[in-house]
Amino acid sequence: MPNQIVITEKTSQAKDVRGAVGSRYGDILPAEGHLFDLLEPEDVVPAWKRWSPILLRPECLYDTRPAEGGNKAAKLKAIREALHSAKRVWLATDCDREGQLIGQEILEHYKYRGEVMRVLFTAQDSQTIRDAFGRAKPNAEYARLYAAAVARRQADQIYNLSLTRTATVILGRGARRVIGVGRVKTPTLAIVCKRELEIRNFVPLAYFEVVATAKVAGGQFQMRHAPQDRIVRREIAEDVVKAADSFEGALAVRVEDKRQGPPKLHDLPSLQKLCGSRFGWSASKTLEVAQELYDGQGKKIITYPRAEVRYLPQSLISDVPRIVGGLRLGQSFSAIPVPEPPIIRRGASGTFHDKGLEGASHHAVIPNLNTIDKLREVWTRLSSDERKLFDVIARAYLSALMPDFRYRQTSATLDVRGFEFRAAGRQPIDLGWRAAFPDWQPADEKGDEAQLLPPLHNGETAMLQDPKIENKETRPPPRYNEGTLIEAMQNAWRFVDDGVLRERLREAKGIGTPATRAEVIGGLKKQGFLIAQGKNIVPTETGLSLFGVLKQADPALVDPGVTAQLECLLDDVVVGKQEMVGAIDAVCDVAERIIGRLKESAAAGGPPLRADIVGNGAAAYPPTPAMKRFAESLSRQKHIKPPPGYKTSISICRKFLSEQAPKKADGETAGKHEPGPVSPAQLLYAKKIAQGKGLIVPDEAKANSAAMSAWIDSNQATKRRKSGRKTASKSTGSIAPQSAAPTKRSRKHKADAVEATPVPPNLGTGTPLRIPYGNKEVALKLGARYRTGGWYAPPGVDLSAFGERGWL
């Protein structure tokens, strides 16, 4: 039997370690994520089996028990038996807090008392792994990292289970469903619900701006009168137009030479935000693609992707020449003019900042030093999505080593009989780091700001011509997509009103962790509280109802700022500012206060959560596209506003249609049939989806065709990719919707367009259909066909199934 072993986090990691160091450090035994779960409350205190509104805090901590599922039992057995004779253990799990917990909880559970060494590698190539074993440190040096992970896990169990049981018992009377409350999940739902309510309650304000053409000796340009206090009366704008027409006056010109440093390197949240906006990827997809670049077979070209900071340690400065040289050998990056030597920026405003890494277990995501020389060879094995993501990471790294962007900022003002007109322009002097992003233009340099001004001199005469009034309207804040929602979770300090506390929390890492935020959003979707609407994330009526009741019961339940404060205390354990038990105590104190408030609300006769809203019924499903179009058509015809939630709730939309649609003589709604019973084809396809995903088709979905269609749409499997081509991201069981399709498609995939092109009237025989993206296989099974111009149903095909789905 060996006297030492290596424990890795998963099988693929064990394979990489074995390939790098062989059996030099003993047998290499993989875990399978967490091999232990915490005991349930009733396992600690039998009386806790009965749900009641109490704090489920044991006298010490919750103990652990072997986890079930997968191949966990066999892997745990192999490790347990090896520990009997091992005098030394090398923990080679992931280099973050969760990786520390996964490895060390095994040793703690079996009370292992031999020597333990911690191996930390931020890339997974052979050289990095060998170097990591060479500089391994005693595991005792990472006691705080382990304590922080334990504190987070214990606090979450106590908080989440205590408040879930309390909310279910007090608020869910008669609902017959668990009301899940989570320390991170519930405030995340609140972020989306608050934004949705802002949008629904938003009343646009019409206002006016005046724009005119200014002529000077060197040319002409646009000037605008846009005062800080908006012009809301048109007659005032007309007065400005009269004053500006043919006005001549002296310009006040200010010219400044400015410079702008490169953007920071990427952590996981910034990658998820960028890929969400640029490529339409979900947060989970970004992580999956990054993980494949990190540890995929024959790849391993980036560092650890679950980064939580955007700095690098100063020890990596010596790697810069090799990484730059390796990147510039590739065709994609050879044209980027990185100076020789590269520019090294230190400190908080730079790239290499040791202090900025305090409390973090890994640095920003960058190209992997030890595989950079093989980039040309690896490039041919990458999918298009993997190339896109590596391009983002590589350009960020190169830009950080390039000169500042230097530009000349020119601003001109003209006093037009008391009305100030302004113009601004920016002329590049030296592109600097922007040469790494030739197609990128910041939002603040579009529109008027992007105009190229002619040479202007202070005091020279300008004449205004052709003044015009522009009609403007205030807009509500935008809905979140997965990337911007993760950014909001990361910057939860923005939801705190107290100025001093805001500044303290600004340096914290928000709510949740980079590795779990996408999972939190996916869980809220799975529970029917959030849904995807295009690229956006919106709450269902169920989610809004739950948010409203919890907020009324105790605002702290749904306050991201409260959770951000608790996260800050948990993070302080890593840097020694807080003891593990103290952090758990702080979370328990908040939970206990909320439980007290909920009990007081119940005693005062507070309303329970409505069963018809909490129940997993049709309210949780969006209406079909046809129902939404019909509702909007009625809205325009009758000059009425559709009810809030008609786009996200099938029940709200259906009620509006039944009330507003004209009735036929026989009582049917004209132009729209009430959803009929579920067709055999629908039920068969739903069962196929459920079997493939390990789900159960809910009874509510079987109630009628519309609810079933909504369930099918929300659970439909991802469209098959081209045969013979490896998919960019492997399925992890996430229920988050897949990203938007690529912008360019092969001819044979045109039938799967996001929404089929409307069929021209003259298509010959056949009924035109509108088949949404991702439904090709269902449409073909139902008898639909595709030809130039769009989808159609040939003569003789039963149209009822298409009508039920809103595809006619």
Q: What is the tens place of the pLDDT at every residue in 479-491?
A: 999 889 999 998 8
Structure tokens belonging to residue 71:
């191949």
Cis bond leading into 742, ω under 30°?
A: no
pLDDT on residue 759: 33
Q: Which phi and psi (to 5°) does residue 53 adopt? A: -80, 75
pLDDT on residue 206: 92
For residues 240 and 195, what is the distance between their CA atoms, to the nearest angstrom?
A: 36
CB 530 within 8 A of CB 540: yes
Residue that the structure tokens 């922007």 belong to? 434
Task: Flag whether pLDDT at 685 surpasses 80.
Answer: no
For residues 730 and 427, what is the distance between their CA atoms, to the nearest angstrom?
A: 45
Q: How is residue 403 annotated by DSSP?
A: P
CB 468 within 8 A of CB 210: yes
- For 759-776, give the DSSP string: PPS---SSEE---BTT-H
- Least confident interval from 115-124, 231-240, 284-293, 351-360: 351-360
The per-residue pLDDT for range 112-154, each reduced to its tens digit, is: 999 999 999 888 889 999 999 999 999 999 999 999 999 999 9
Structure tokens belonging to residue 153:
């896990």
Structure tokens belonging to residue 142:
């990472």
Q: Find the helix or strand (DSSP H, E) in which 64 lies.
A: strand 64-66
Q: What is the pTM of this model?
A: 0.69
pLDDT on residue 222: 94
- Tell me which of 332 and 518 has the higher pLDDT: 518
Name residue 134's amino acid: G
Task: Flag whether pLDDT at 229 surpasses 60.
Answer: yes
For residues 205 and 687, what is the distance between their CA atoms, to the nearest angstrom?
A: 49
pLDDT on residue 797: 79
For the beta carbon of residue 502, count every other beta carbon within 10 angstroms.
15
Nearest to 780 by CA among 710, 681, 687, 702: 681
Residues 444-457, mean pLDDT to the nearest whole number:
75
The per-residue pLDDT for range 49-86, each reduced to its tens digit, is: 999 999 999 998 999 999 988 899 999 999 999 999 99
- For 649-716, give the DSSP string: -HHHHHHHHHHHSPBPTTSPBTT-PPP-PPPHHHHHHHHHHHHHHT----TTTTS-HHHHHHHHHHHP
Residue 672: HSE in the Cβ half-sphere, 13 Å Cα cutoff: 25
For residues 778 and 715, what is the distance between their CA atoms, to the nearest angstrom?
A: 13
pLDDT on residue 638: 82
- Least confident interval from 141-150, 287-296, 784-793: 784-793
For residues 340 and 359, what is the distance between their CA atoms, to the nearest angstrom?
A: 34
Residues 416-434, mean pLDDT to the nearest whole number:
93
Task: Flag whether pLDDT at 394 surpasses 50.
Answer: yes
Spell out a b/e string for 527-540, using b for 16 or more CB atoms within 10 Å of the CB, else e: bbbbbbeebbbbbb
pLDDT on residue 403: 96
Name residue 699's amino acid: D
- Tell me which of 743 and 168 has the higher pLDDT: 168
Beta-strand ranges (E) seen in 402-499 are 405-416, 419-430, 461-473
Spell out a b/e string for 713-722, using b for 16 or more CB atoms within 10 Å of the CB, else e: bbbbeeeeee
- Least confident interval from 87-91, 355-359, 457-461: 355-359
Residue 88 — pLDDT band, cuts 50, 70, 90? very high
Residues 543-549, mean pLDDT to the nearest whole number:
87
CA dihedral 644, 648, 651, 652 (to 10 degrees): 10
- Tell me which of 701 and 547 has the higher pLDDT: 547
Residues 38-48, mean pLDDT to the nearest whole number:
94
pLDDT on residue 691: 64
- Tell me which of 614 and 740 has the higher pLDDT: 614
pLDDT on residue 808: 72
Residue that the structure tokens 């960058």 belong to? 366
Structure tokens belonging to residue 210:
């005046």
For residues 516 and 47, what is the distance between their CA atoms, to the nearest angstrom?
A: 32
CB 728 within 8 A of CB 386: yes
Cα separations (Å) of 488 from 479, 597, 737?
12, 27, 20
Residues 177-198, mean pLDDT to the nearest whole number:
90
Sign of the C-alpha dihedral computed for residues 430, 432, 437 and 443 taken in this order = negative
CB 334 within 8 A of CB 234: no
Q: How is residue 802 annotated by DSSP?
A: H
For the beta carbon of residue 376, count every other beta carbon within 10 angstroms.
11
Which pairing describes strands 219-225 and 767-768: parallel, antiparallel, or unpaired? unpaired
Residue 651 — pLDDT band, cuts 50, 70, 90? low
Task: Flag whether pLDDT at 349 surpasses 50.
Answer: yes
Nearest to 308 by CA among 362, 347, 265: 362
Task: Flag whether pLDDT at 659 surpasses 80.
Answer: no
In the chain, the percentage of residues whose pLDDT exceeds 70 is 82
- Tell me which of 609 and 690 has the higher pLDDT: 690
For residues 62 and 342, what is the distance between their CA atoms, to the nearest angstrom?
A: 52
pLDDT on residue 802: 75
Spell out a b/e string for 75-102, using b for 16 or more CB atoms within 10 Å of the CB, else e: bbeebbebbeebeebbbbbbbbbbbbbb
Structure tokens belonging to residue 744:
């360019």
In whole angstroms, how large is the CA radius of gyration of the chain?
Answer: 30
pLDDT on residue 778: 76
Sign of the C-alpha dihedral computed for residues 568, 570, 572 and 574 taken in this order = negative
- Least confident interval from 509-513, 610-614, 660-664: 610-614
Task: Flag whether pLDDT at 606 surpasses 70.
Answer: no
For residues 339 and 554, what is the distance between their CA atoms, to the nearest angstrom?
A: 57
Residue 175 — pLDDT band, cuts 50, 70, 90? low
Q: At what angle do helices 705-715 and 650-660 cross, to 10 degrees?
A: 140
- Tell me which of 272 and 638 has the higher pLDDT: 272
- Least confident interval from 61-65, 171-175, 201-205, 578-582: 171-175
Task: Flag whether pLDDT at 717 surpasses 50.
Answer: no
Beta-strand ranges (E) seen in 98-187 are 115-118, 137-138
Mean predicted lDDT score pLDDT of the chain: 82
CB 111 within 8 A of CB 27: no
CA dihedral 508, 511, 514, 516 (to 10 degrees): 150
Cα separations (Å) of 208 from 233, 241, 243, 645?
8, 11, 15, 31
Task: Flag whether pLDDT at 502 surpasses 80.
Answer: no
Task: Flag whether pLDDT at 723 surpasses 90.
Answer: no
CB 119 within 8 A of CB 136: yes
- Least confident interval from 94-108, 186-200, 249-263, 610-624: 610-624
pLDDT on residue 746: 36
The per-residue pLDDT for range 725-739, each reduced to its tens digit, is: 333 333 333 222 223
pLDDT on residue 160: 94
Task: Flag whether pLDDT at 529 surpasses 50.
Answer: yes
For residues 424 and 222, what is the distance between their CA atoms, to the nearest angstrom?
A: 9
Q: Is 776 left (phi over 0), alpha (psi -120 to 50) or beta?
A: alpha
Where is mean pLDDT largest: 199-213, 352-366, 779-793? 199-213
- Tell me which of 450 and 416 has the higher pLDDT: 416
The per-residue pLDDT for range 751-768, each reduced to its tens digit, is: 333 233 333 333 346 788
Sign of the C-alpha dihedral computed for residues 506, 512, 513 and 517 taken in this order = negative
Task: Flag whether pLDDT at 189 surpasses 80.
Answer: yes
Structure tokens belonging to residue 691:
């079997």
pLDDT on residue 36: 95
In the chain, the percentage of residues whose pLDDT exceeds 90 is 48
Any residues with CB less than 8 A from the CB of 113 and at least 6 apart, and which? none
- Tell me which of 803 and 237 has the higher pLDDT: 237
Q: Which phi and psi (to 5°) does residue 686 adopt? A: -65, -40
Residues 767-778, mean pLDDT to the nearest whole number:
71
Name residue 81's amino acid: E
Residue 744 — pLDDT band, cuts 50, 70, 90? very low
137 DSSP β-pair partners: 118
